[in-house]
Amino acid sequence: MQEYIEQLWETVTIEFMFKFFVVYFFVVWMALVLWVAKDISNRSNSRIFQTFCVLLIILLTPLGVFLYLLLRPRMSVYEKYQEEIEGNLLILWDIVHERLEKAPGEMLLCHNCHIKVEDDYIMCPECKTSLKHNCKSCRKEIRSSWAVCPYCKTKQEKKTHQKKSQKHKAKKQKNSNY
């Protein structure tokens, strides 16, 4: 046993240690090259940049690894794509919102069931909510969805519409039960 250990120690020369570290370094190096090749293909579509990053690792390991971590794009292509879609949806939502709020004449909606109605309708053909009524103060015809009469600044009560919409909702629920 003692002899065996001594023999083993004799084989562990500086040359052996050196060879061991060369092989170890080579394996780690190859693994890094493979990892970077895979990682950069997820983060960039540019062939030139992909090749550049892989070359950086091949030529400059271990320093190249830190350089790569500094240089690589923050997000993967998929994440970037997702963020772009989210941004576009927000813009689209803003446009729809603006159209609904700023141009009621172009596209008027029933304030109860939100179907498209015409400017001169006095009642929603879908849910039978009254769309217009006379201001209690100046008696001018105004839209029921307005909070204030634009002719005399009188605040409008919304109770009647709410009641109607509640009734309508109850009706809808009843219908969906059947």
Among 137, 160, 162, 166, binds Zn ion (CB under 5 A): 137
How far is it, in rounded angstroms, from Cα 93 to Cα 19? Answer: 64
CB of 148 to Zn ion, least distance (A): 9
- Considering the rule CB under 5 A, would residue 148 count as an interface residue with Zn ion? no
Among 65, 126, 143, 145, binds Zn ion (CB under 5 A): 126
Q: Considering only CA atoms, which of 118, 163, 168 is closest in space to residue 143?
A: 118
**What are the helix (H) ranges across 44-150?**
47-60, 63-71, 77-102
71-110 residues near Zn ion, rule: CB under 5 A: 110
- Considering the rule CB under 5 A, would residue 127 count as an interface residue with Zn ion? yes
- Considering the rule CB under 5 A, would residue 131 count as an interface residue with Zn ion? no
First and final C-alpha spacing in the chain: 89
Three-state secondary structure of 116-129? EECCCCCECCCCCC
Give the binding site for Zn ion (CB under 5 A): 110, 112-113, 124, 126-127, 129, 135, 137-138, 149, 151-152, 154
